[in-house]
Amino acid sequence: MMKRISNIILIRPPLNKLDNNAISDVSVFFPPNGLFLLASVLKRCDYNVTVQDMYENSWFDIQRFFQDKQFDVVGITCFTGQHLNSLKLAKLAKENIDPSPLVVLGGPHPSAKGIDEQILSHYPQIDYIVRGEGEETLIELFDGINQGVDLMTVKGITFRLNKRIVRTSDRAVIKNLDLLPLPDYSNFDFSKVESKCDDMVSITDDNKQARFLPIISSRGCPNKCQFCAIFMGRQVRFRSPENVVDEIEQLYRMKKVVHFTFVDDCFNTSLARAEKICQLIIERKFPITWTAMVRVKPISENFFQLAKDSGCLMLAFGVESGSKKILETIGKNINLDDFIYAIEMAKKIGIKVAALFMVGNPGETKETIDETISLIKKTRPKRVVVSPTLIFPNSELYYLAIKQGILDEEYWLNNSKLPYYTAEHSLDELRYFRFRIIFYHCLFEKKVSMVIKLGILILGYRFVKLFNLQISQVRDFLLKIPIASSILKSLKSDYIE
C-alpha cells in the first residue's frame, strides 16, 4: 500500500544563467510565484508544504540538501529550455531522499502534446505528470492517493498503470480565478527581489534598490500566433479588479513591495477591467509603480491616462515585425497603424513604450528587416527588445519545423536549449539581423557608445563572413579576451534605460 502523503516540497530547478547562444547573463530575479500559489492551495487542504527555489543552486548543493530531508512528494516545475535540469533534479531527489518520494512534474513543457508520454517513457524517476493548471489536479491526485481511489478518475494527469503509460482526460480550466487563494510568500526571502529595474525599465529615479514582484491578473490568450504554445489555453479568464488590487495592497502594506510586473499574456484583453484595476490603485492611494505587456488593441486614451496616474512606468507591445507580410504569416492579427497610434498616444500621456520584435520568422528577408527598422524610426519606442525566433513544442511553428526537418520529436530528450527557427537563415544571420535592428534603434536614440559597440560587431560579422568563418567560434575566442569579453557582455538585447 502506498504511504500517506503529508509533507510536500515544491521546487524550481537551477536555471541555465548563461545561455551558450547569448552574450549576457540573466540579470533580474523573478520568483516562481506559481509555486507559491500552489503552496497556498495545498496548505488550505491541510498539507504541509515547503517551496524551495533552487534557481542558483549547484548540483552538489542540491544533492546535499536532499540527503537529510524527508518528503512524501517532490513537485518540480518544468519549463521548455530548462527541462533537462528538472529531470536531473528529479533523479537526485529519488536517489538521495530516504525513503524515496513520489516525484510529480508539472508546468508548460510536460503539458505539451506528446511530451508527457515521452518523459515517462525515458525517465523512470518521474511518477506523475500534471498537465495544465495544477491547483485542482494536485489536490485530487494527493487526496486520491491517500484515499486509495482509482486515479483514472483524476483529470489532467499522466502516469504509469500496470507498466503502461496512461493519460486521463484533460481538465477544464479554472473559470473563477478569484476562488484561488493569494500566493503564500510567508517563507520567501524578499531581499532577492530588491533591484533597480524589473527587466523592463528602471524602477526608481534615484537609482536605489526597490522591492518588486511579478503578478498574474489573468490566464489564457485568445490569439493564435504561429510561434506561441499556449500553456493556459485560449479561453481568457480574469481575476476581478478588486481581487488583483487586494493582492497588490497586501504585498505593499505587509511586505513593502512597491513595484509590480504584470506577467499576463495580455493585460488589456478586457480594456474595461484594466481600467478598473488602475482606478482602484488610484482610489486606494498607495504609491506603487507597475509595468505590463499589452496589445495594440483594445486601447484608449482613458486607459493610458489611468495607467499613468496609477503608477505605470512602461507598457510593452509585442509587435514582432514591421512587415505586414510577416505579421500575416505568423497570424499576429495586429495592424501596424494601430501600433503607431498606440505609441503616439502613450507618449502624449507620458508612458514609456517597449517594442518587442522577433527576427527569423518564416518569410524573413533583408527587406522585412528594413521594414522593422523603418517602423522603429517612425515610432521611436523608448526601448527595443529583439530576439531570434524560438521553437516551442506544441506551437504551429514546431510542427512546421518538424516537417521541414529542422528538428524531430526526440529533440527534447537530449537538448537543453530551445531551438531557433533556422529553415531560412542561419543562427549567425539571425544574430546579424538582431544587431542591425538594435544598432538603428540606438542610432535614432543617440546612444553613442552602443552605436559604436554594435557598429564594431556588425563590421566584425561582415569580416568574419567574408573569410567564411563561424561566428560562434570567433565569439568564443573573443570571450576569452578580457576587453573584448567586456564589450560583448555589455551588449544586452534587453538593456535598461
H/E element, 315: strand 312-320
Band of pLDDT at residue 34, cut at 50, 70 and 90 = very high
E strand spans, 361-497: 383-388
Rounded CA-CA distance 442/437 in Å is: 9
Coil, helix or strand at residue 218 = strand
Residues composing the chain: 497
Domain ranges of the chain: 7-167, 189-425+436-442
Intra-chain end-to-end CA distance of the chain, in Å? 59
For residue 214, the model assigns a pLDDT of: 95
Residue of 140, 119, 144 whose CA lies nearest to 129: 119
Coil, helix or strand at residue 187 = coil
Global pTM value = 0.92
Rounded CA-CA distance 87/457 in Å is: 37
Treating both helix axes as pointing N-terminal to C-terminal, what angle do 471-478 and 427-444 enclose, rounded to 10 degrees?
60
For residue range 45-86, list pLDDT tens digits in order.
999 999 999 988 999 999 999 998 999 999 999 999 999 999
Grid cell locating 312:
505605470
Contacts of 55 (CB under 8 A, 6+ apart): 12, 14, 15, 29, 32
Treating both helix axes as pointing N-terminal to C-terminal, what angle do 482-490 and 471-478 enclose, rounded to 10 degrees?
120
For residue 495, the model assigns a pLDDT of: 42
Contact, 360 vs 420, CB < 8 A? Answer: yes
For residue 491, the model assigns a pLDDT of: 59
The percentage of the chain sitting over the pLDDT mark of 70, rounded to a whole number, equals 94
CATH no. for 189-425+436-442: 3.20.20.70
Contact, 85 vs 107, CB < 8 A? Answer: no
Contact, 231 vs 168, CB < 8 A? Answer: no
Grid cell locating 480:
576569452
Rounded CA-CA distance 233/221 in Å is: 7
pLDDT at 207 over 90: no
Treating both helix axes as pointing N-terminal to C-terminal, what angle do 366-379 and 336-349 enclose, rounded to 10 degrees?
30
- Residues linked to residue 317 through DSSP beta bridges, in sequence order: 294, 355
Contacts of 116 (CB under 8 A, 6+ apart): 110, 129, 131, 158, 167
Rounded CA-CA distance 93/88 in Å is: 9
For 7-167, which CATH class? alpha beta
For residue range 397-441, list pLDDT tens digits in order.
999 999 999 999 999 999 988 999 999 999 889 989 999 999 999
Helix, strand, coil shares, percent, the chain, to 5: 40, 15, 40
Residue of 317, 331, 473, 314 whose CA lies nearest to 400: 331
For residue range 283-297, list pLDDT tens digits in order.
999 999 999 999 999
Contact, 119 vs 126, CB < 8 A? Answer: yes
Band of pLDDT at residue 24, cut at 50, 70 and 90 = very low
- Taking only Cα atoms into account, the Rg of the chain, rounded to an integer number of angstroms, comes to 23
